[in-house]
Amino acid sequence: MQNLVTEIKEKKLIAIIRGVRSENVAKTVGALLSGGINLVEITFDQTRKIPWEDTAKAIELASAEHKNAVIGAGTVINLTQLELAVKAGAKFILAPDVNEEIIRATKAAGLVSIPGAMTPSECGAATRAGADFVKLFPAG
């Protein structure tokens, strides 16, 4: 996990894949790798137009096909999504908010935690809960 924290600090860029079904995600990750981007977040669709299980499958397929990519799960807002991501092989978890339960469970699973926060109080709460990074979100 510490190696991943260092890699994120060095590369400073995580690509976001949103709304791509599992059968197409490996091609998208391949294109990102060709462009020099190996840190990739695959997001959970909260409307469930893309089922959460499909997102987990996308994480699993992308991780299996592209060993040079570091695949994480994004828009993780509950423990069900976190469990699906962990089982699928995600290496990091991004969240849109400071959910201390998600942060602690992410850390307990040995993954890098990156919650979103907007205020100084939220940033402090995320750090105290064990977040490795805090994403300023939403930000213009």
Instruction: Cite the active site residues.
Output: 41, 135
The CA distance from 43 to 58, in Å, is 10
Longest alpha-carbon distance in the chain: 40
The CA distance from 127 to 18, in Å, is 27
The CA distance from 12 to 33, in Å, is 15
Helix (H) or strand (E) holding 104: helix 100-108
Q: Can you say whether the dihedral through the CA atoms of 42, 46, 56, 110 is positive or negative?
A: positive
Burial 17-27, CB ≥16 within 10 A → b, else e: beebebeebbe
